[in-house]
Amino acid sequence: MKFRVLFAIFFIIFLTACSTTKQTVIEDEVIFYGEGDHWNVKYIYNPELYNEKKVNWVEIELKNSQLLQEDLSNIDIGFEGRDGLITGNVGDMVTKIKGNVISFLVGTVNSETFKEDKYKITIKFEDKPDVIKLQFLN
């Protein structure tokens, strides 16, 4: 009986130790990047900006079409991470536009950000949803 209990405890500890994955804390600015059918996306995580203002920049670039200022109110986003989902309309956000690239501020969707994190952003524009997975780039 004691052997079975000891074996079960050892087995649980062994499984727990094997399933633990090491995560790399981000100390400098990094980019998470992804490409969709209609958009290219960068999530630029800057730990200093986040610690100071609790926000970071997202850049979305429309492929094969020209963007106008009035198009911003027709772009809806959903930004998903490990700890949550942020949704909104780009026209309601603080934005910068340069050519076909729109930059806007978002709060982070994870309580901590690691290089191993993966994000998903859904962009809906002109009734065309584009779901893009973002991964660590640099």
Residues 77-118 have pLDDT tens digits of: 999 999 999 999 999 999 999 999 999 999 878 888 999 999
Write out the two tokens for 57.
């920049």
pLDDT digits (tens, 9 = 90+) for 18-72: 445 788 988 899 999 999 999 999 999 999 999 999 999 999 999 988 988 999 9
Closest CA relative to residue 38, chosen from 60, 57, 58: 60
Cβ partners under 8 Å of residue 62, min gap 6 = 38, 39, 100, 102, 125
Torsion sign across C-alpha atoms 63, 60, 72, 67: negative
Domains, the chain, in order of start with CATH, read 23-136 (2.60.40)
Which of 128, 34, 123, 131 shows the shortest CA–CA distance to 77?
123
| 83: nearest Cα among 112, 105, 52, 106 | 112
Would you say the pTM of this structure is higher than 0.85?
no
